[in-house]
Structure 1
Amino acid sequence: MTQTLGRHLLLELYDCPALLLDDVAQVEAQLRAAANHIGASIVGVMFHHFAPYGVSGVVVIEESHLTIHTWPEWGFASIDIFTCGDSIDPWQAYLFLKEKLGAAHGSAMEMRRGEKRLLNRQDYFPTQNAQIATAPLLQSWLTERDETFALSLKRLSAPLFQAQSHYQKIEIYQTQAYGKALLLDAKLVLTEKDEAAYHEMLVHLPFFQFQFSNFDKHPNPETPLTLQKVLILGGGEGGILRQAIRHQHLQVIDLVEIDEMVGQASRQYLDFLAPAWRDSRVRVHHTNATDFLAHTPPESYDAILIDATDSKRLLPFEKAHYAHIKSLLRKGGFVVMPTHSPYIEPQVLQNQYRNLQDFWDKNELLPYLAHIPTFPSGMCSFIVAGLKRKESLSHMEKKEIQFFSEKEKLFYYNAELHTAAFALPNFVARLL
């Protein structure tokens, strides 16, 4: 056998059902496992998910490296395995990956690297200043994507939590710039760094708007109406709960989340949301939201908050449901929901606004905006139905919000933002 510096195996795997999931974490895990299977020593990894689909990655080993690129739409993967010397057998990696990816068939071709009879060894001595250092592990990219856009966050490790519940795939990662991140069915739900902006605006703005809008309606103006019973649909990770429990006048906070595993994972891995689960006023119901609403008596709540960071999760709440939702509200009550990015999905805001118009007067529909870096386009819209807008807050009202914001050490919401959030850019106003 001709002596060489190493071996190069080119692999092609066809009809791989595992690739249809288009899961970067799974592809990385299998390539890591292949390296371990042949006794290679992993030095670092780098994987990237392309929009709309496809994964490329490299596992750097002391003996050289393994690379992969996938075409999930064809169930196809192209893999290269480079090794130095003859200490490990790349053919074992081929057989391992063919089995683990479920390939119906594959092909492989081996090339020898650097035939020694053609090489002329040079005298090589590292400089005296050269330092031997262990390279840090290369980070992988965590990517949310659809047919029109992609958002990538650099993650620092394998998933902190990854499981398939009865309803969805749940993943939690540690990212470099945004702390911990929660994904449901590969859709980014929140990150530790900016989730508070979304949840504060979904809770505190309508809560204070309720208080100020109903001040003159109360028989005793010195004791304005306060929220007592609140229903939250979705939000099973606890982000919206963490904001709601800051309002001490609430007596009951019902949360309806069908997937119990979301809360379990949150309590274990999303420690910044931990206060949400310790409040005695919180009652969690693991059931379908529409079923829960169907069995709820009229005029049960002062507010209903729909937490749906993925627009598809708003679909169950269509026009036919809003009449029933309104019947569950006490006099002066409201419903609030995110309506997503008016840049990326303008039809969501437009359709929900039109649906709500059949049940509330136009002057009781208040669209507003917040800016959240990891949401599509960075802009998120909301609608609160059942409250009227105040063109400007009084000095006392601003003071009350500011006191609350400072006392609770809020991340985003304050008195100036309360008013400014209702100012809509022209292109958003035209949607309505």
Structure 2
Amino acid sequence: MDPTPVPPAPLPVGRHVLAELTDVDAAVLDDVAALRGALHDALGAAGAQVRQIVAEAFAPQGATVVALLAESHASVHTWPEYATAHVDVFTCGDAADPELAVRLLAAALGASVRRLDVIERGGPAAAVTEPISPGLTRRWALGTVHHRATTPYQRVLIADTAHGVTLFCDDERQSAEATQLVYHEALFAPAALLAARCERVLVIGSSEGVVSEMAVAAGATRVDHVDIDPDCVRACAEHLPYGYTPGRLAAAERHEGPVHVHYGDGREFVERAAGRYDVIVVDLPDERPDEPEAQLNRLYAADFLAGCAQRLTEGGVVVCQAGSPALWRDATLRAAWRRFHDVFGPGGVVYAGSDEHEWAFLVGCPAAPADPVTTMVARLATLPVPPATIDAAWLRTRTVPPATLRRGFASAARHDDAGDGRHGRSAMSTPRRSRSR
């Protein structure tokens, strides 16, 4: 009888953190003794067991410090002339926290963390469990992990999935190679077709840079792209096969060419904007009503939407990612539908539903054409680069809002007319209190 098969031993599991530290005083980066002490203390405070440290100073400047750990290793390489240090910490098991060690080291050196990548090593095949709605999740099996990092704003992961290279933020899929064109064209094309012009465009969010490039292809001569998370934008440019490339992003960061990238809060940018825009695109992860203090909720508030409307040129439009029309997860969409009608009125809102149930978009038009769909169909052939996934039939069918939205609005309008005698204005037109901080 054959002996009982012996299961393979589990692979060692560890985390490897790679970081770039900047804004460090040159004297600190040349002080080998201080570097040894700072690395030793940071590793110990993060739970690692330091066995020995070796260091060497180089002429005319710079140093390398390497720590041998019971859990694996850590190293620091410095470039005083650039005020920069590169750090890596690899630990196996759960006793030590390599990311904490890097952040403690950065604090000890007075450094800024320009970039921080976390690579999972060993263990079973990786996966992401994405929350969809209460009681429902979706599990993404991961292939090659191209980038994993925790920024000051979110956890960012870029990895291969069944949908190609995929971007996750805080475990929520933001875009994927197989579907990103369907998403971005449904977001941008209807707005571009409804706007009287498409010369000046403001994009808030949309880290991948696809919308910025679509705007330029549509004839925009100036695109201001505002995103709060530079680490995420740069990771997208480096690792996603769509949107910005590293070279195009670097030029946009230098404000060379039609696209100008600004890192900061979108709400503050709109409040201080001096110019006006033909199209304003707000492309964010879903609103988080269960997290009232989440920063992105401020960019879903009615007063922010009204502020965007005030920054439009004559004939300009605002378009927002508004959630999913699926019945079991449409609360975000219904809330956005009400807000858009509060700001733009019943005749000033155009619905655009994606070919997948995941996404829907709302376009606010202060000066809406009498027949928005006919206007979009007529203008479709005038776009310099026609959309690949949108045609006249799409515009006629995908701009019909779901019955839950149409019936809800009609019901509220009837109730308002019966209740106080006002005609042509629904109860939802009453300004709503903003939930912004």
TM-score by length of 2: 0.59
Q: Which residue of 2 aligns with 1:99?
A: 95
Q: Which residue of 1 aligns with 2:128?
A: 142
Residue 155 of structure 1 pairs with residue 126 of structure 2 = no
Aligned length in residues = 291
- 1:385-404 correspondence to structure 2 within 5 Å: 385-386=364-365, 387-388=368-369, 390=371, 393=374, 398=377, 401=380, 404=383
Residue 337 of structure 1 pairs with residue 320 of structure 2 = yes
Deviation, 1:100, is 4.8
Residue 190 of structure 1 pairs with residue 175 of structure 2 = yes
Pair 409,100 (structure 1): closer, same or farther in 2 beyond 3 Å: farther
Pair 371,186 (structure 1): closer, same or farther in 2 beyond 3 Å: same
Deviation, 1:350, is 2.2
Q: Which residue of 2 aligns with 1:181?
A: 166
Residue 415 of structure 1 pairs with residue 372 of structure 2 = no
| Structure ID, larger Rg | 1
Query: For the residues of structure 2 that align with 1:391 and 1:309, how far apart are their CA atoms?
Result: 27
Pair 328,402 (structure 1): closer, same or farther in 2 beyond 3 Å: closer
Aligned sequence identity (%): 18
Q: Which residue of 2 aligns with 1:303?
A: 279
Q: Tell me if structure 2 keeps the 8 A contact 1:171–1:182.
A: yes
- Matched AA of 2:175: L
Q: Which residue of 1 aligns with 2:216?
A: 245
Residue 381 of structure 1 pairs with residue 351 of structure 2 = no
The range that moved more, 420-429 or 285-294, is: 420-429
Q: Secondary structure of the equivalent of 1:172?
A: strand
Q: Tell me if structure 1 keeps the 8 A contact 2:156–2:169.
A: yes
Query: For the residues of structure 2 that align with 1:296 and 1:418, how far apart are their CA atoms?
Result: 32
- Matched AA of 1:234: G
Pair 389,144 (structure 1): closer, same or farther in 2 beyond 3 Å: farther
Q: Which residue of 1 aligns with 2:235?
A: 265
- Matched AA of 2:333: L
Unaligned runs of 5+ in 2: 16-70, 72-91, 99-122, 289-295, 410-437
- Taking only aligned residues, the RMSD between alpha carbons, in angstroms, comes to 3.4
Q: Secondary structure of the equivalent of 2:344?
A: coil
TM-score by length of 1: 0.60
Q: Tell me if structure 1 keeps the 8 A contact 2:151–2:229.
A: yes
- Matched AA of 1:193: A
Pair 271,292 (structure 1): closer, same or farther in 2 beyond 3 Å: same
Query: For the residues of structure 2 that align with 1:247 and 1:429, how far apart are their CA atoms?
Result: 31
Query: For the residues of structure 1 that align with 2:170 and 2:373, how far apart are their CA atoms?
Result: 41
Q: Which residue of 2 aligns with 1:281?
A: 258
Query: For the residues of structure 1 that align with 2:346 and 2:378, how far apart are their CA atoms?
Result: 29
Deviation, 1:340, is 0.6
Pair 138,231 (structure 1): closer, same or farther in 2 beyond 3 Å: same
- Matched AA of 1:141: A
Q: Secondary structure of the equivalent of 2:359?
A: strand
Pair 149,287 (structure 1): closer, same or farther in 2 beyond 3 Å: same
Q: Tell me if structure 1 keeps the 8 A contact 2:282–2:321.
A: yes
Query: For the residues of structure 2 that align with 1:185 and 1:416, how far apart are their CA atoms?
Result: 36
Deviation, 1:332, is 1.5
Q: Which residue of 2 aligns with 1:82?
A: none
1:362-395 deviation digits (Å, cap 9, x = unpaired)? 10111221123xxxxx34221111134626537x
- 1:11-410 correspondence to structure 2 within 5 Å: 32-34=11-13, 97=93, 99-100=95-96, 140-146=126-132, 147-157=134-144, 159-175=145-161, 177-210=162-195, 225-248=196-219, 250-274=220-244, 277=249, 280-297=257-274, 300-312=276-288, 313-343=296-326, 344-372=328-356, 378-386=357-365, 387-388=368-369, 390=371, 393=374, 398=377, 401=380, 404=383, 408=385, 410=387
- Matched AA of 1:347: A
Q: Which residue of 2 aligns with 1:128?
A: none
